[in-house]
Structure 1
Amino acid sequence: MAYKSIFSVLTDEALIKPTLDHAIALATRLDAHVDALCLGVDRSQTGYYYAGASAAVLQETISRAQTEAEAIEAAARAVFGPSEIRWSAESGVAQLADLARHVATRARFSDLAVLPQPYGTDRGAELEPIVEAALFEGGVPVLVLPNDVAPNPAPKRILLGWNESSEALAAARAALPFLTQAEAVHVVVIDPPTHGPSRSDPGGMLSQYLSRHGVRCEIDVLSKTLPRISDVISRHAADIDADMIVMGAYGHSRFREAILGGATRYMLEQAKLPVLMAH
């Protein structure tokens, strides 16, 4: 498998260049095509008017979103222009509650979505549902980019989180184009179960599977010495000087993670490295 169709959604002019720089670097290395969906987001309530609002007011919000979409598309084309890759950019307007349909329709026909980190200072409310729409409705792996990380289309050292879940296995398979070219892949197992078929060799079957693809991997078994799994992963990534983290996304329900937290939620909030996620 190779990434030949890379997809991104742009809704914030401040995030256009850093997001597209990563996508262009990947496309240049992999000889891939980049499709950018430039959305102006209408954040008005759907299904009814605000109290005292008129149709003219609502039309104004749509017109403003259309203007934003056109500005985002123009900025994206300016970033794409000097590159030598194959690319396309289209603009449109979507209401906040209807983002998933627009994102999923295009994401499902791509190999990888490249999206900005959805949480942080000055991040719009639309970024989280865009990531989730790509993962769930689009069924595509997502490379989530934190702030101020230089493009690295060929990460040399990768941390792969492994807990024997179907989500973690989906992430490992989706990340094979990165894993096969890495110098070292650390399969990280945290507090493996004391009872189970893999208790004597945690991560062994995954490592065997990856090695048959030519992946140079080793297994790191860690104790949960910090309150959250995401903290252990982040600390170990720093210890091994990792360039990327690969992990399954939303082993629990999205609602539970939104209310109680979870590894996916915390990684999306706090990651300092690009994180490739799949569900």
Structure 2
Amino acid sequence: MAYKSLLTVMTDTVLAQGALAQMVALADATDAHADALCLGVDRSQTGYYYAGANALILQETLSRANAEADEVLAFAKDYLGKSGIRWAAESGVVQIADISRHVARRARFSDLVILPRPYGDGRDAEAEPIVEAAMFEGHAPVLLVPDDATPFVKPKTVLIGWNESPEAMRAIRRALPFLQQAEMVRIVVIDPPRHGPDRSDPGGMLSQMLARHGVRCEIDVLSKTMTRVSDILSRHATDTEADMIVMGAYGHSRFREAILGGATRNMLEQSTVPVFLAH
């Protein structure tokens, strides 16, 4: 299986460039179709009362959102038009409280959604709900690209964060096209349980399954020498010169992740390589 329908969601011409470049690179290499959903976001919340608010203020926010949508659409058309791939771009204006519905509808019919990292400097409030809508409501895998990442087609080395969870297994299955093309896939197991069913061979059954798909893989069993799992994965990605990390998303509830942090959120905040997520 190959990714034949690619999607990116753009609300900003600067932050979207990395994801757009990655989408074009993959579409060109696999003869896929690339779609760009260009949104202007109305960040006013009309369900609340603002002292002194009137129709002119609401009209101003809507006009600003329309102008943003037109700017992003023009940028996407210019960029994609020069790429030589098959593409389509459309624009629209959404309220921030309703953005998930529109993103999920498009993500549902896409093989892979490519987006910029939702955390970091210059991110607006809609960045996180766009990622979550693609994964949770759209049920699509998401490739999150750092701002300065170099687009790749066939990753040389891929890390898999393996903790035997359903989310991790789902991410691995959805990432198979990348894993099959990689020169080496490293299954990273951090502090495997001493009394688990795979205690004598952690990651062995996963390695066997992937090998039957033609994936060249090795197992790296690491000690939890740092407090956060995401720190260990990031350091190992640097040590092995990995091009991509594959991991399950949000093993805990999204509310707990948002308040206390977690491997998913921490990874998205600090990773210097693209992260492939599925839930």
Give 1:88's aligned residue.
88
Q: CA deviation at 1:197?
A: 1.2
Q: Which runs of 5+ in 2 are unaligned?
A: none
Give 2:187's aligned residue.
187
Three-state SS of the structure 2 residue aligned to 1:59 is helix
Q: 2:16 touches 2:115 (CA, 8 Å); kept in 1? A: no
Q: CA offsets per residue over residues 72-121 of structure 1, 9 Å max, x none?
A: 00000010011111111000011111110010000000000000011111
Q: CA offsets per residue over residues 115-149 of structure 1, 9 Å max, x none?
A: 00111111111111100111100110100001211
Give me the whole-angstrom Cα distance separating, in 1, the residues matched to 2:3 and 2:49. 44
Give me the whole-angstrom Cα distance separating, in 2, the residues matched to 1:157 and 1:84. 28
Give 2:48's aligned residue.
48
Code of the aligned partner of 1:46: T
Structure 1 residue 211 corresponds to structure 2 residue 214 = no
Q: CA deviation at 1:28?
A: 0.6
Q: CA deviation at 1:153?
A: 1.4
Q: What does 1:114-125 correspond to in 2, within 5 Å?
A: 114-125=114-125
Structure 1 residue 159 corresponds to structure 2 residue 164 = no
Give me the whole-angstrom Cα distance separating, in 2, the residues matched to 1:37 and 1:46. 24
Would the alpha carbon gap of residues 244 and 48 (structure 1) be closer, same or farther in structure 2, given more than 3 Å must change?
Answer: same
Three-state SS of the structure 2 residue aligned to 1:180 is helix
Give 1:265's aligned residue.
265
Q: What does 1:59-138 correspond to in 2, within 5 Å?
A: 59-138=59-138
Q: 1:36 touches 1:88 (CA, 8 Å); kept in 2? A: yes
Three-state SS of the structure 2 residue aligned to 1:37 is strand
Q: CA offsets per residue over residues 28-47 of structure 1, 9 Å max, x none?
A: 11110011100001110131
Q: CA deviation at 1:19?
A: 1.9
Give the stretch that moved more between structures: 104-113 or 42-51.
42-51
Q: CA deviation at 1:48?
A: 3.2
Code of the aligned partner of 2:39: L
Three-state SS of the structure 1 residue aligned to 2:185 is strand
Q: CA offsets per residue over residues 210-249 of structure 1, 9 Å max, x none?
A: 1110000010000000110000000111111111100000
Q: 1:155 touches 1:243 (CA, 8 Å); kept in 2? A: yes
Give me the whole-angstrom Cα distance separating, in 2, the residues matched to 1:47 and 1:136. 25
Code of the aligned partner of 2:172: A
Q: 2:40 touches 2:92 (CA, 8 Å); kept in 1? A: yes
Q: CA offsets per residue over residues 178-236 of structure 1, 9 Å max, x none?
A: 00010100000000011121111111111111111000001000000011000000011
Give me the whole-angstrom Cα distance separating, in 2, the residues matched to 1:232 and 1:265. 14
Q: CA deviation at 1:61?
A: 0.7
Q: TM-score, normalised by structure 2?
A: 0.98
Three-state SS of the structure 1 residue aligned to 2:152 is coil
Q: TM-score, normalised by structure 1?
A: 0.98
Give 1:9's aligned residue.
9
Give me the whole-angstrom Cα distance separating, in 2, the residues matched to 1:49 and 1:90. 32
Give the stretch that moved more between structures: 39-48 or 228-237.
39-48
Code of the aligned partner of 2:236: H
Question: How many aligned positions are there?
Answer: 279
Give the stretch that moved more between structures: 187-196 or 15-24.
15-24
Give 2:222's aligned residue.
222
Code of the aligned partner of 1:230: S
Q: CA deviation at 1:277?
A: 0.5
Code of the aligned partner of 1:188: V
Q: What does 1:230-269 correspond to in 2, within 5 Å?
A: 230-269=230-269
Q: CA deviation at 1:15?
A: 2.0
Q: 1:230 touches 1:263 (CA, 8 Å); kept in 2? A: yes
Code of the aligned partner of 1:222: L
CA RMSD, Structure 1 to Structure 2 (Å):
0.9
Code of the aligned partner of 2:42: D
| Displacement over 3 Å in runs of 4+ | none
Sequence identity of aligned pairs in percent? 68
Q: 1:46 touches 1:97 (CA, 8 Å); kept in 2? A: no
Three-state SS of the structure 1 residue aligned to 2:15 is helix
Three-state SS of the structure 1 residue aligned to 2:41 is strand
Give me the whole-angstrom Cα distance separating, in 2, the residues matched to 1:25 and 1:215. 22
Give me the whole-angstrom Cα distance separating, in 2, the residues matched to 1:111 and 1:49. 41
